């Protein structure tokens, strides 16, 4: 039964892709076919993954003349399939309304084809059971997402973003291939099952090489610092529904493989592996949110928050590796559960926020939050859903982001039980970095929500904005409900995650965690359920009192004071630049801001007619890492041009020399 359902899901995605192309002359029909099939296939994916999470693994192998088609879905694969399918279903519902923006302007059939192939490739990535098939579907995912990123290719900046993305993703793929080749050489096969057995025969040096190569390769796709530079370009360039998928679930496929390689293939046997991940993760979390605070492009702001949250996920993974390598499997399970929980939570609230950003752009036709304002009255439902996503990503109770970050904090505090002082200090220091990250994230979304939705409209676009279609609101509403459910029902989801972590760490931890409608360990406890009930019961009290007694006294309405201006307008409002300036001043050595002020005078140096203010921060990684690296590569390429003479005789001589050297090497027994 499971086999038929799995292949039915694949067939439904392929039907949606083919149907979108066949009906591309009719935008509405093509939209209906593409996204209806994607939604139905996603429902099948949810059913399959939930069935497997109940303890029934699914395996299917079909030998072919060139490639063995191997599918294996265990608890870890099923969890990531569930994450992908839930987000894909919500985004597909959202897309019915969103793609109307492209009717008559772009090829909807092309978008629908790539959209279905993209989701299918992500599901196959987390289901592949051999290296060859994995690399094929991994490449399919990368190529499909690249063409989705450059969907509006007529814009030069989008072409640049696509180029940067495809270069970085293929560099990562090169490292992945090297790690697979080492494991295949030890196991004698490219099947993942033999990787688990063959890894034990690797020398410590080769095990370390496999880990580092996999971390770099998959880290490039995940967007860890300093391999993140493609992410704030590519995610904003893609259409809003695609951005939600890329940021919400595509980068999670890399997290899946980091966990698979570290825990499943290699057994998480070295403490320094966990320390490396912990350091990179903490830097990614902190720098991601710091750069997000400086952004006024709403989609770039959200993209930098993906770097931050990938860091938070990997903190849990890194702590888990440290604990299991030091002989604390129960603590390792707790850290891994924290990472997996935040994987689900980030997928939900980040996809919600990207859909919210897409809705704002759909109505205002601008990504710049400085040109928005006052949208809470124009788009109340979008404002509500964006607020829920903002609270969730800010890790405020009782929403889902709080629960997983609270679990991560507890996993870090459990590091106090370690005897190695250096490791203990590293874990606790990462806890301090996470605390600062959470505070800065809250500040960032006060800015993002406040400047976008509150006060008065700052532009004509914002003034004439209106609520988005019902399908877009429905897609956002599904994820908004999940943000609440994942926050107030943590005991249920942690139980599922414990079943996933148990085979990877060798022990179950659920019996050692006190769950009486609360999440608790020896380091502390917090009940999100009781908090939610308390808020539900007591929040109406001030409203009732206000209604009962608020009308007893006379009230007058006055305009807000506007610094002496006769009337309050959008020009008098607090700006996003002003909001983030104190933080820019505190971290001036990291941001290295540069500003220019141009003044226009009205006939006299004493009468200033106009000011123009421009401010930007220094792109440290691009300037000091990637530009020198690109210069070095180009310099080496120019030096190698000497062998490219254009002479066919010389090229034949190169071949002859290579052949002679090879024969000598083989003949000498090398």
Residue 516: the pLDDT is 40
- What is d(CA 303, CA 289) in angstroms, rounded to the nearest whole number? 10
Cis ω before 57 (30° cut-off from 0): no
- How many residues comprise the chain? 670
- The overall average pLDDT reported for the chain is 87
Instruction: Say if residues 169 and 138 touch (Cβ distance below 8 Å).
Output: no
For 537-575, how does the pLDDT look when each residue is reduced to its tens digit (9 = 90+)? Answer: 666 777 777 777 666 566 666 666 656 665 566 677 778
Residue 550: the pLDDT is 64
Q: Furthest-apart CA pair in the chain: how many Å?
A: 104
For 191-222, how does the pLDDT look when each residue is reduced to its tens digit (9 = 90+)? Answer: 988 888 888 888 899 999 999 999 999 999 99
Q: Which among 217, 214, 219, 221 has a CA at the least distance from the CA of 199?
A: 214
Residue 561: the pLDDT is 64
How is the chain split among helix, strand and coil, in percent rounded to 5? 75, 5, 20
pLDDT band (50, 70, 90) for residue 651? confident
Kindly state the percentage of the chain with pLDDT values over 90.
58
> Is the confidence at residue 425, as pLDDT, over 60?
yes
Residue 12: the pLDDT is 97
Residue 369: the pLDDT is 92
Left (φ > 0), alpha (ψ -120 to 50) or beta: where does 55 sit? left
DSSP 24-47: TTSHHHHHHHHHHHHHHHHHHHHH
- What is d(CA 131, CA 133) in angstroms, rounded to the nearest whole number? 6
Residue 322: the pLDDT is 94
For 94-144, how does the pLDDT look when each residue is reduced to its tens digit (9 = 90+)? Answer: 999 999 999 989 999 999 999 999 999 999 999 999 999 999 999 999 999
Cis ω before 71 (30° cut-off from 0): no
Q: How far is CA 62 from CA 56, 65, 140, 316, 535, in A?
A: 20, 10, 20, 36, 54
The DSSP secondary-structure symbol of 469 reads P
For 509-540, how does the pLDDT look when each residue is reduced to its tens digit (9 = 90+)? Answer: 887 766 443 334 444 455 555 555 666 666 67
For 39-97, how does the pLDDT look when each residue is reduced to its tens digit (9 = 90+)? Answer: 999 999 999 999 999 877 888 887 766 667 889 999 999 999 999 999 999 999 999 99
> Is the confidence at residue 418, as pLDDT, over 90?
no
> Is the confidence at residue 658, as pLDDT, over 70?
yes
> Is the confidence at residue 670, as pLDDT, over 60?
no
> Is the confidence at residue 398, as pLDDT, over 90?
no
Residue 650: the pLDDT is 81
- What is d(CA 53, CA 56) in angstroms, rounded to the nearest whole number? 7
For 256-289, how does the pLDDT look when each residue is reduced to its tens digit (9 = 90+)? Answer: 999 999 999 998 889 999 999 999 999 999 999 9
> Is the confidence at residue 626, as pLDDT, over 50?
yes
Query: What is the Cα 636 distance to its own chain's centre?
Result: 35
The DSSP secondary-structure symbol of 130 reads B
Q: Which two tokens stand for residue 332?
A: 């390792």
- What is d(CA 43, CA 52) in angstroms, rounded to the nearest whole number? 14
**Collapsed DSSP state (helix, strand, coil) of residue 357:** helix
HEC readout, 423-441? HHHHHHHHHHHHHHHHHHH
Taking residue 458's Cβ as centre, other Cβ atoms within 10 Å add up to 24
Residue 340: the pLDDT is 95
Residue 517: the pLDDT is 34
> Is the confidence at residue 610, as pLDDT, over 80?
no
- Mean pLDDT to the nearest integer, 591-599: 76
pLDDT band (50, 70, 90) for residue 601? confident
Residue 563: the pLDDT is 63
- What is d(CA 452, CA 376) in angstroms, rounded to the nearest whole number? 8
- Mean pLDDT to the nearest integer, 243-260: 95
pLDDT band (50, 70, 90) for residue 302? very high
Task: State pTM to two decimals.
Answer: 0.90
- Mean pLDDT to the nearest integer, 615-624: 82
- What is d(CA 228, CA 220) in angstroms, rounded to the nearest whole number? 7
Going through 380-424 in order, the beta strands assigned E by DSSP cover none
Instruction: Say if residues 199 and 210 touch (Cβ distance below 8 Å).
Output: yes
Which residues touch 568 (CB under 8 Å, ≥6 apart)?
456, 559, 560, 562
pLDDT band (50, 70, 90) for residue 419? confident
């Amino acid at each position: 039964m499971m086999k038929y359902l799995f292949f039915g899901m694949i067939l439904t995605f392929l039907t949606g892709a083919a149907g979108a192309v066949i009906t591309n002359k009719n935008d509405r029909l093509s939209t209906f076919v593409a996204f209806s099939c994607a939604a139905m296939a996603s429902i099948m994916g949810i059913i399959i993954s939930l069935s497997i999470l109940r303890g029934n693994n699914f395996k299917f192998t079909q030998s072919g003349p060139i490639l063995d088609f191997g599918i294996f879905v265990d608890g870890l694969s099923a969890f990531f399939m569930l994450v992908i399918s839930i987000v894909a279903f919500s985004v597909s519902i959202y897309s019915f309304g969103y793609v109307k923006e492209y009717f008559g302007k772009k090829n909807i059939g092309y978008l629908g084809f790539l959209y279905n192939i993209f989701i299918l490739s992500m599901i196959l990535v987390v289901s592949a059971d051999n290296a060859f098939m994995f690399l094929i579907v991994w490449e399919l995912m990368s190529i499909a997402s690249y063409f989705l990123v450059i969907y509006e290719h007529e814009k030069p900046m989008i072409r640049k973003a696509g180029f940067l993305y495809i270069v970085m993703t293929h560099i990562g793929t090169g490292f992945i291939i090297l790690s697979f080749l080492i494991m295949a050489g030890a196991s004698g096969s490219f099947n993942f099952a033999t990787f688990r057995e063959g890894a034990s025969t690797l020398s410590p040096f080769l095990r370390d090489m496999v880990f580092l190569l996999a971390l770099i390769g998959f880290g490039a796709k995940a967007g860890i610092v300093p391999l993140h530079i493609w992410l704030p370009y590519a995610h904003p360039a893609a259409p809003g529904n695609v951005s939600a998928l890329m940021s919400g679930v595509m980068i999670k496929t890399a997290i899946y493989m980091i966990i698979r390689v570290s825990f499943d293939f290699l057994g998480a046997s070295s403490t320094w592996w966990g320390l490396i991940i912990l350091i990179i993760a903490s830097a990614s979390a902190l720098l991601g949110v710091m750069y997000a605070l400086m952004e006024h492009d709403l989609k770039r702001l959200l993209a930098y928050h993906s770097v931050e949250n990938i860091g938070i996920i990997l903190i849990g993974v890194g702590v888990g590796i440290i604990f299991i390598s030091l002989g604390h499997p129960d603590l390792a399970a707790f850290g891994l559960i924290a990472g997996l929980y935040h994987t689900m939570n980030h997928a939900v609230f980040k996809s919600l926020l990207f859909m919210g950003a897409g809705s704002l752009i759909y109505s205002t036709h601008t990504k710049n939050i400085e040109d928005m304002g006052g949208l809470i009255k124009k788009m109340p439902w979008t404002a509500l859903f964006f607020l829920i996503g903002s609270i969730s990503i800010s890790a405020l109770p009782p929403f889902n982001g709080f629960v997983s970050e609270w679990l991560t904090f507890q996993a870090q505090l459990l590091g106090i039980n370690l005897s190695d002082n250096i490791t203990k200090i590293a874990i606790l220091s990462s806890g301090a970095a996470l605390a600062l990250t959470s505070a800065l994230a809250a500040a960032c979304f006060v800015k993002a929500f406040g400047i976008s939705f509150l006060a008065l409209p700052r532009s004509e676009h914002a003034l004439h904005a209106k609520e988005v279609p019902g399908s877009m609101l429905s897609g956002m509403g599904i994820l908004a409900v999940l943000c609440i459910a994942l926050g107030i029902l943590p005991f249920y989801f942690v139980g599922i995650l414990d079943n996933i972590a148990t085979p990877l760490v060798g022990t179950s931890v659920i019996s050692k965690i006190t769950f009486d409608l609360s999440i608790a360990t020896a380091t502390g406890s917090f009940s999100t359920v009781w908090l939610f009930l308390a808020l539900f019961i007591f929040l109406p009290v001030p409203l009732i009192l206000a209604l009962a007694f608020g009308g007893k006294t006379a009230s007058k309405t006055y305009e807000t004071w506007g610094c002496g201006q006769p009337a309050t307008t959008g020009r008098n409002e607090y700006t996003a630049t002003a909001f983030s300036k104190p933080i820019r001043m505190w971290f001036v050595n990291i941001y290295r801001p540069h500003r220019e002020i141009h003044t226009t005078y009205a006939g006299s140096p004493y009468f200033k007619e106009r000011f123009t203010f421009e401010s930007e921060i220094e792109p440290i990684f691009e300037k000091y890492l990637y530009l020198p690296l690109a210069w070095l590569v180009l310099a080496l390429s120019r030096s190698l041009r000497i062998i490219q003479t254009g002479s066919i005789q010389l090229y034949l001589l190169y071949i002859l020399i290579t052949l002679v050297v090879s024969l000598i090497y083989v003949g000498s027994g090398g």
